[in-house]
A and B are shown apart, each in its own frame.
Chain A
Amino acid sequence: MRKRQREVAIVGVGQTKYSSHREDVNQPEMITEAIVEALNQTGLTMDHIDCVVHGNMELFEMIHQPDLWHTIGTGAMGKECLRLTTGGTTGATLVCAADALVASGMHDIVMAIGFEKLQEGHTTGGITNMADPLWGRKLQSGALVGITATQMIEEFGEQRAKKASIDYRIIMDMHAMKNEKAHRRLGLKFDMAEDLMNNSPRLVGELRMIHMCSQSDGACVVILASEDKAKEICDRPAWIVDHVTVHREEHMGTLFGLKKGKLTHRHAAEVLFKRNNIKDPVAEFDVFEMYDPSSWWGLDWLREFLLFDGDEHLRLVEDREIYMDGKFPVNPSGGVIASNPIGATAMVRFAEAGLQIMGKAGEHQIKKEVNWALASGFGGTFWTVLGILSSEKPKR
């Protein structure tokens, strides 16, 4: 276990509604909405906040000091402030950084803000410019990758793979229908599966438009507090148990050889589960908020995060066990496929896992009590943040 001076918990969460139509507000106005919600939930004011950690993926809007422009919306004037950006994982990194700031004893209450206003830039153009400019830029097609679909069809057969992927997509939409903040709520039904998986417009190979995440506008705010303050602010805070960030080399060739390469997701899960003595993640976790940019990746990554080797991940979906009241609930929020304001997206995973523990998820609250939750972030040329939240203060 890594050293901590004290325990830290998520005590408050605020989110805007996620949407492709936020032309009615500018960036600081949009962020304020999430901040006000988080402050109202906790009963705190900006006077209680010791430090603001702020982040997004700047290459989308091409604003390189958003934290300063947003000061009027964040209330960070005169406060300590950090700006972070780590690509798709930004939101999760913000939570990790806020945790470190409190766990170290430097600050008691830290507000983490993740946002993106994707309609103000060009998402695929932005992501393409993330690639190595000496080689990869010419080849990168944003975050659109069809290889996982190709590999899964090769391994499990076309019909089974395509059906499991679209079923995953439909379950995520059913969850999103219960989350009024979700961006895409399409009202998909299982009897639409054949039509969608064969007729939705193709993006790359068998990755079709229906499988892919949205481009959303929105902001998410998470307030973290030290152990003494957490108990005062929140009846049932979501305690941070542990988190791990795993990198790999930027070059992607080693992932796509004849044999499928090992993803950082699996490595992160191995490290985190060993450190926290987790033997059977499906049985032990009450919910998993996973960063699932497409239903092909969502399906495949269940296998990586849960350390499966066979077809257990397909069966979880085929048996509807990932439904919010199933054996292993995945993304009761609707996940990234439903809402994807990129700089906030990975934070939303931790925020939604936290809300489930606090019992404040509203209509998409899981019926059985949530005590132990897993949340993941994903970025760029494949790196991972994975974290565990608990209803009980960890005993070290």
Chain B
Amino acid sequence: MKQRPSVKDIIFSFIDRANYHLIKDENCSLGYDITGGGGGKWTVKIQGGKVYIEEGLKGPDVVISMKDVDFIGFTLGELDVLNLISSGRLKIDGDATLAQKSAKFFKKYTSSGKQDTEELIRLKQILSIPQRFSTGEVMGYFLYNLKNKKIMANRCPKCGRLQCPPREVCAICRVEADEWVEVGPNGILTVADIVYYASPDPLTGEIRKTPYITAYILLDGCSDPDTFWHEIDPDTPHEKLKKGALVRPVWNEKRIGAITDIKYFEVIEG
């Protein structure tokens, strides 16, 4: 059986495994708090294009804590990082973005002196597809009005509900919704979601800044449950995101006939 590396072996291998071209402009430090008999505390400093290892936690930007066996299993690629994090076996304190980014700072661990017998080749590709969507007559009229700071809904002649954003027909009654009504612009919050997970914004491809807040809003003039989906000012204190809170839109200076014409909604004080 192959001898398993020690935690200390792995920590000191960071020096040999560094991707020096990627860290030349980095200035940061990663703390490792590894528990168990084979554990210990180390700080891996990246500065001036070099990697330094110090015993103990010397005020690192982020501390990664786990058990010795998990750390070794994780380094050898036997344990899945998301599983470790979600089951609480791997904890990250401090700059979580740095912890994520630092995975690229180092090459994969291989036991010293031995070549991998098999290399799995993966082909990396990135697709970038410019898209152009037609709005259609109904959504087009709605977006045109947003440019003029007006939120338009359309009414179902059968059940009377106001749809916003508008749809060509009422899907419930299967009849054309042909009457336009201006609604809002203020309303009340029905429910909000505070998003911590940083996913790509499909409109720009950029990773979204977190946390941001999405919400469903019952605009003045509309009736429950026909709510309007948008965002709330990300700086809003979370305790203010109560059901029934009064909100108003904050318009963008530059409006192009898109969802972004409303920057977000803000909670009205008092």
* A residues with CB within 8 A of B: 20-21, 23-24, 62, 122, 124-125, 128-129, 133-142, 144-147, 150-151, 154, 184, 186-188, 192, 195-196, 199-205, 208-210, 212, 214-215, 248-249, 251-259, 261
**Shortest CB distance B38–A (Å):** 21
Interface of A is mostly: loop
* B residues with CB within 8 A of A: 77, 80, 82-83, 85-88, 91-92, 120, 122, 127, 131, 133, 135, 139, 143, 163-165, 167, 171-172, 190-197, 199-203, 214, 216, 218, 224-231, 243-244, 259-260
- In the complex, what residue of chain B is closest to A149 when comparing beta carbons? B193
A124 to B230, CA, bound (A): 19
Which of A134, A204, A210 has the most chain B CB atoms closer than 10 A to its own CB?
A134
Report whether A137 and B202 are in contact in the complex, using a CB–CB cutoff of 8 Å: yes
- In the complex, what residue of chain B is closest to A261 when comparing beta carbons? B225
Residues of chain A lying within 8 A (CB to CB) of residue B80: 20-21, 184
Closest 7 pairs (CB-CB, A-B): A257-B225, A249-B171, A209-B86, A256-B216, A253-B227, A257-B224, A186-B87
**Shortest CB distance A130–B (Å):** 10
**Shortest CB distance B106–A (Å):** 19
Report whether A201 and B167 are in contact in the complex, using a CB–CB cutoff of 8 Å: no
Report whether B231 and A139 are in contact in the complex, using a CB–CB cutoff of 8 Å: yes
- In the complex, what residue of chain B is closest to A215 when comparing beta carbons? B82
4 further A-B pairs in the complex, CB-CB below 8 A; given A147-B193, A200-B88, A257-B224: A124-B197, A128-B202, A186-B87, A203-B197
| A251/B165 contact (C-beta < 8 A), A146-B193, A205-B194, A210-B86 known | yes
Could you pull out 30 A-B pairs where Cβ atoms are within 8 angstroms? A21-B80, A23-B122, A124-B197, A129-B202, A135-B139, A137-B203, A139-B229, A139-B230, A139-B231, A141-B199, A142-B197, A184-B83, A184-B86, A188-B87, A199-B88, A199-B91, A200-B87, A200-B88, A201-B92, A202-B196, A205-B193, A210-B86, A212-B86, A251-B167, A254-B225, A256-B225, A256-B227, A257-B216, A257-B224, A258-B243
- In the complex, what residue of chain B is closest to A140 when comparing beta carbons? B202
Residues of chain A lying within 8 A (CB to CB) of residue B226: 253-254, 257
